[in-house]
């Protein structure tokens, strides 16, 4: 076990999987000579050469399609988006090609690949550079969506995603790249998709969240504890496949749930989780399920307004108290 | 290609090859006619884009390829799939939405695949396949193989961003891909000259990809020119852009009239009479005493019989199971977690 950053954990995962499997290669803007816009691919060019670590032009649609096409003939591309904000230029290839390839070819052709990069807001980057993008990709069957929130998860989940036989949308966070944490050693450190992680155990309310937001949830849980309320903090880790069992288990115990996510509320992750709770845990619930999300506005630049628009500890604490009727 | 070089090669094509091309085109024509008939009586649904009039493109561009080479195309791809070696029964069954169809009836007319023979699919988003072709060619380059990837596109697709992104990257990495524009002069009802200030053959210039013009109504020149291009690319010449000039004899899709406001009846009649790729080749062969009308008739009967059997197969084939809907959405069902949220029970 070593303490390393989220960034280095991702880097290790890439190195190990590229060493293990020759069909794995990385492509994207600035991934090679520049070492990656966020330095995730540092040193990879030197180690693997320019056939396996490929700098592309700024052509998201084209290089994402390249990834899907290469996957169709048996390679395992890792496509890096400088940030997921720019993946919208490639959304046609994600939704219309990658997600549908298996089904529309009757299983003849598949697209085993990873599409990765940071998603969500950093600080004061304005509306076009600050948005959580998971809901866009969760909507489409055929894609898997993974959102690691810790260095260990970043490594273990990326390795699994690269080995998975389907297109996996892998969303990191600009705010987490420098986060340090314990990461188990060993090339076979793999975290299965579809297994949530109970980050903190309490009995009074379930906070259901993922990605960067788990850190907001843990801080809120500390504050709640001081007020005498103990929260379960469930990190979903992978949104599709989704660990429904763990969600139901937690809510069966607490009878109350608050969904916390970075993105907008309409059609978001919390909307899906709430719907599952209505359908499958109605009798367990003692209060309506609440959601804490970003305000329904494009992210503002102004520092105070940005903080107001983001989901935060105070809003989450308030929502938890509300479902506990205190 | 100069006119002269075209002629010399034309003469050099042997009789056997000409007969093969003729047989191929007859098969493609009869296949599409049958598809049209079946569509009219409701056996085939959805969008259905016929290739009638453009058979020389499928025959001439695909016959020079090896089995290991790749072809990727648009929604107007039935005959290209046949040309690459997908069985007519399986393609027809797919059009009928039946279980033994190429995609188990889940793909339909616009999504025919035959990965075992290198046919990497019909793709329905104009321009989408251009980016995929880039990746297929990347795969060849990555593994150091000598295959080529032929990417068909319509004339209208050159106005998509994907076209330019694909050509640029293919050029900087010298990838083995041939962009074959089936330039039938129209994208649905829009004449190419209305949506492009420059000529087709200029489209690849800014990417440094060499361009050629081929007479796509003449299968012999299409075949000979394409054979040469394929060999060049196989030997490392890098991406090529080919303006294959052709003409669609039917409507854009089955729901579109043959002529209408965007092109005159006379224009279509002129082309059908004077530029039918099958008659053109047959006439050439009659003139050089390489074929008799009786032999042509016999070949046609053979083609019709193959298509009759394909249609009978499709007609009697079983419907896909409802359960099969979920079989290939994911190729790996993870042991943990839920992938489907519709709550449906089969
Ligand atoms: C991105 C996109 N926009 C619009 C359409 C609808 N559409 C289908 S075919 C077509 C015309 C394409 O013409 P062309 O590329 O010349 O090919 P052709 O049909 O002539 O073979 C259009 C507009 C589409 N399928 N995809
Ligand atoms: Mg056209």
pLDDT tens track for A124-183: 999 999 999 999 999 999 999 999 999 999 999 999 999 999 999 999 999 999 999 999
Average pLDDT over residues A183-191: 95
Cis-peptide into A241, omega within 30 deg: yes
- Contact status, residue A145 vs residue A169, Cβ threshold 8 Å: yes
% residues pLDDT > 70 (chain B): 97
C-beta of B185 in contact with ligand 1 (< 6 A): no
Report CA(B187)–ligand 2 centroid distance (Å): 4
Report pLDDT for B346.
83
Cβ within 8 Å of residue B310, ≥6 positions away: B31, B34, B87, B88, B89, B91, B92
Q: Give the pLDDT band (50/70/90) at residue B8.
A: very low
C-beta of B252 in contact with ligand 1 (< 6 A): yes
Alpha-carbon gap, residue B344 to B329, rounded angstroms: 15
A78 touching B (Cβ < 8 Å): no
Domains annotated for chain A, with CATH where assigned, are 2-183 (3.40.50.970), 197-323 (3.40.50.920)
Average pLDDT over residues B287-302: 98
Q: Which residues of B touch A25 (CB under 8 A)?
A: 142
Q: Which ligand is nearest to the CA of B48?
A: 1
Verify whether the Cβ–Cβ distance B332 to A192 is below 8 Å.
no
Residue nearest to atom 8 of ligand 1 (CA): B126
Domains annotated for chain B, with CATH where assigned, are 2-326 (3.40.50.970)
Report pLDDT for B40.
97
Alpha-carbon gap, residue B253 to B343, rounded angstroms: 36
Cβ within 8 Å of residue A274, ≥6 positions away: A257, A259, A289, A291
ipTM summary value: 0.95
C-beta of B54 in contact with ligand 1 (< 6 A): no
Average pLDDT over residues B134-142: 98
Verify whether the Cβ–Cβ distance A62 to B123 is below 8 Å.
no
Q: Which residues of B touch A242 (CB under 8 A)?
A: 337-338, 341
Average pLDDT over residues B29-55: 98
Closest CA to B334 of A208, A115, A99, A144: A144
B259 exposure class (CB count in 10 Å sphere: 0-12, 13-18, 19+): middle
Report pLDDT for A23.
98
Verify whether the Cβ–Cβ distance B165 to A63 is below 8 Å.
yes
Alpha-carbon gap, residue B153 to B131, rounded angstroms: 11
Report pLDDT for A309.
97
Partner residue opposite B138 with nearest CB, options A61, A70, A105: A70
Residue nearest to atom 7 of ligand 1 (CA): B126
Q: Quick: pLDDT tens for A258-278.
A: 999 999 999 999 999 999 999
Q: Is the pLDDT of residue B5 over 50?
A: no
Q: Are strands A2-5 and A180-183 parallel, antiparallel or unpaired?
A: antiparallel
A17 exposure class (CB count in 10 Å sphere: 0-12, 13-18, 19+): buried
Q: Is the pLDDT of residue B9 over 80?
A: no
pTM of the entire structure? 0.96
Please identify which residue in the block is written with the tokens 């069954």: B93
C-beta of B188 in contact with ligand 1 (< 6 A): yes
- What residues have a C-beta under 5 A from ligand 2, the ion? B 154-155, 184, 187
Report pLDDT for A1.
86
Flag the least confident range among A179-193, A231-245, B11-25, B196-210: B11-25
Verify whether the Cβ–Cβ distance B106 to A103 is below 8 Å.
yes
Q: A227 vs chain B: nearest CA distance in angstroms?
A: 34
The H-or-E segment that residue B218 falls in is none
Best A108, A114, A169, A267 residue to mutate vs chain B (most B CBs within 10 Å): A108
Q: Is the pLDDT of residue B165 over 60?
A: yes
Q: Which residues of B touch A165 (CB under 8 A)?
A: 331-332
Sheet of A144-146, strands arranged across: A53-55, A24-28, A76-80, A113-118, A167-172, A144-146, A238-240
What φ, ψ does residue B208 adopt, rounded to 5°? 70, 25
Report pLDDT for B1.
38
Residue nearest to atom 12 of ligand 1 (CA): B187
Mean pLDDT score of chain B, rounded to an integer?
96
Residue A60 is a catalytic residue:
yes
b/e map B217-250, b = 16+ CB within 10 Å: bbbbbbbbbbbebbebbbeebbbbbbbbbbbbbb
Cβ within 8 Å of residue B287, ≥6 positions away: none
Q: Is the pLDDT of residue B2 over 60?
A: no
Q: Is the pLDDT of residue B11 over 70?
A: no
% residues pLDDT > 90 (chain B): 94
Report pLDDT for B6.
46
Q: Which residues of B touch A144 (CB under 8 A)?
A: 330, 334, 339
Partner residue opposite A59 with nearest CB, options B106, B115, B169: B169
Alpha-carbon gap, residue A86 to A167, rounded angstroms: 18
- Contact status, residue B101 vs residue B90, Cβ threshold 8 Å: yes
Residues of chain A numbered 43-62 and touching chain B (CB < 8 Å): 51, 56-57, 59, 61-62
Average pLDDT over residues B211-240: 98
Alpha-carbon gap, residue A176 to B182, rounded angstroms: 49
C-beta of B156 in contact with ligand 1 (< 6 A): yes
Verify whether the Cβ–Cβ distance A56 to B70 is below 8 Å.
no
Q: Is the pLDDT of residue B75 over 70?
A: yes
A226 CB neighbour count, 10 Å cutoff:
7
Residue nearest to atom 18 of ligand 1 (CA): B154
Q: Quick: pLDDT tens for A75-111.
A: 999 999 999 999 999 999 999 999 999 999 999 999 9
Average pLDDT over residues B62-87: 98
Alpha-carbon gap, residue A231 to A237, rounded angstroms: 18
């Amino acid at each position: 076990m070593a303490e390393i950053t989220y960034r280095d954990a991702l880097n290790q995962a890439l190195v190990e999987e590229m060493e293990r499997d020759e069909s794995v290669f990385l492509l994207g803007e600035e991934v090679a000579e520049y070492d990656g816009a966020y330095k995730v691919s540092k040193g990879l060019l030197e180690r693997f050469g320019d056939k396996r670590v490929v700098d592309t032009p700024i052509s998201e649609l084209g290089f994402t399609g390249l990834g899907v096409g290469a996957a169709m003939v048996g390679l395992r591309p890792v496509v890096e988006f400088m940030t997921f904000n720019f993946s919208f230029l490639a959304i046609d290839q994600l939704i219309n090609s990658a997600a549908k390839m298996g089904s529309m070819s009757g299983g003849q052709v598949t697209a085993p690949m990873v599409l990765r990069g940071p998603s969500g807001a950093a600080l004061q980057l304005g509306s076009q550079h600050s948005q959580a993008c998971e809901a866009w990709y969760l909507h489409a069957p055929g894609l898997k969506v993974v959102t690691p929130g810790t260095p260990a998860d970043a490594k273990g989940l990326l390795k699994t995603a690269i080995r998975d036989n389907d297109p996996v949308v892998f969303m990191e966070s600009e705010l987490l790249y420098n986060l340090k944490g314990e990461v188990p050693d060993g090339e076979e450190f793999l975290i299965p998709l579809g297994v949530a992680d109970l980050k903190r155990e309490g009995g009074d309310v379930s906070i259901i969240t993922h990605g960067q937001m788990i850190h907001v949830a843990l801080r809120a849980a500390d504050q709640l504890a001081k007020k005498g309320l103990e929260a379960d903090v469930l990190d979903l880790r992978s949104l599709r496949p989704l660990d429904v069992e763990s969600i139901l288990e937690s809510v069966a115990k607490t009878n109350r749930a608050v969904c916390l996510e970075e993105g907008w509320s309409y059609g978001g992750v919390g909307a899906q989780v709430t719907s599952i709770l209505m359908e499958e845990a109605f009798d367990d619930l003692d209060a309506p399920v609440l959601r804490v999300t970003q305000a329904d506005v494009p992210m503002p630049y102004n520092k105070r307004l940005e903080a107001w628009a983001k989901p935060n500890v105070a809003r989450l604490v308030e929502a938890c108290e509300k479902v506990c009727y205190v | 290609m100069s006119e002269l070089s075209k002629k010399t090669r034309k003469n050099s094509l042997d009789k056997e090859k000409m007969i093969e091309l003729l047989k191929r085109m007859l098969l493609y024509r009869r296949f599409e006619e049958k598809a049209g008939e079946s569509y009219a009586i409701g056996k085939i649904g959805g969008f259905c884009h016929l290739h009638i009039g453009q058979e020389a493109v499928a025959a001439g561009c695909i016959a020079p390829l090896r089995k290991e080479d790749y072809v990727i195309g648009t929604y107007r791809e039935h005959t290209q799939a046949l040309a690459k070696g997908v069985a007519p029964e399986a393609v027809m069954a797919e059009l009928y939405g039946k279980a033994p169809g190429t995609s188990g009836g889940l793909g339909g007319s616009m999504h025919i695949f035959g990965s075992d023979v290198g046919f990497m699919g019909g793709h329905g988003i104009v321009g989408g396949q251009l980016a995929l072709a880039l990746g297929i060619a990347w795969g060849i380059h990555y593994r150091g193989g000598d295959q080529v990837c032929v990417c068909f596109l319509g004339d209208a697709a050159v106005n998509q961003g994907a076209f330019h992104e694909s050509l640029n990257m293919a050029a900087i990495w010298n990838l083995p891909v041939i962009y074959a524009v089936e330039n039938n002069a129209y994208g649905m009802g829009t004449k190419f000259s209305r949506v492009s200030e420059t000529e087709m053959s200029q489209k690849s210039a800014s990417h440094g990809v060499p361009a050629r013009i081929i007479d796509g109504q003449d299968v012999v020149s299409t075949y000979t020119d394409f054979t040469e291009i394929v060999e060049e690319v196989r030997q490392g010449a890098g991406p090529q852009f080919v303006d294959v000039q052709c003409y669609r004899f039917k409507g854009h899709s089955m729901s579109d009239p043959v002529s209408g406001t965007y092109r005159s009846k006379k224009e279509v009649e002129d082309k059908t009479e004077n530029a039918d790729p099958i008659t053109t080749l047959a006439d050439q062969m009659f003139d050089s005493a390489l074929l008799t009308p009786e032999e042509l008739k016999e070949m046609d009967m053979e083609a019709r019989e193959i298509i009759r059997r394909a249609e009978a197969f499709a007609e009697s084939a079983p419907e896909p199971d409802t359960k099969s809907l979920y079989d290939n959405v994911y190729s790996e069902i993870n042991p943990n977690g839920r992938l489907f949220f519709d709550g449906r029970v089969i």
